[in-house]
Amino acid sequence: MAPYPQEDGSKAWMLPISANAKVVNAGDINEMGAVVAAAFAKPELSGSGARLAAGHKATSFGQMVEALNEQGHNFGWIQVPGDEKWDAAFPGALEIREMFDFWVMAGSYYGSEEAEAAYFEATKKLLPDFKFTTFAEWAEKHMTVWE
C-alpha cells in the first residue's frame, strides 16, 4: 500500500476510502506493551475481558497526509472506486476494501465514537498519566523526508 509516483513529482496513496473518513487509529506500536502490562498489573481496574485503547484516537488518511506534508513530505491522496477492478488489482485487495468499508460503517477500528471513548476511558483508569503518540509525532520521529 505504498504511495504511487504522480506526474507532478509527488506520491499519492490510491485507496478505496475517503480521505476524510476518521477511521484510522495510528500511533506507536511500542506503546501497546505499557497498556498490556498495566492490565495485568491492575486486574481490578481492567476487569475480565476489558477492551482497552491500543493507539491514538481516530484520524483520517487526509489528516495523515496533511501531517506528513507539514513535515516536508510531498504526498497526496486519491480515492479510487471500490469496485471489481480494485478487488482484482492484487491479492488481498478485496479484503482491504472490505476492511475499509467496515471501518466507515462502524465509525473506526474501535467502532462508534461512544465505543472509542469507552476504550480510552478504560485505558485512562489504568494509566492516568499516559499519552498515546499521535501519528504526526510518530512520523516526525520515524519517517525521513527524502530530497
The whole-number average pLDDT for the span 32-51 is 86
Residue 136: alpha-carbon gap to chain centroid: 11
- Listed in order, strand segments (DSSP E) in 1-141 are 4-5, 11-15, 22-24, 59-60, 75-79
**Better pLDDT: 92 or 109:** 92
- pTM assigned to the model: 0.85
pLDDT band at 57, cuts 50/70/90?
A: confident
Which distant-in-sequence residues (6+ apart) come within 8 Å of 1 by Cβ? 13, 15, 96
Residue with grid cell 472509542, as numbered in its chain: 116
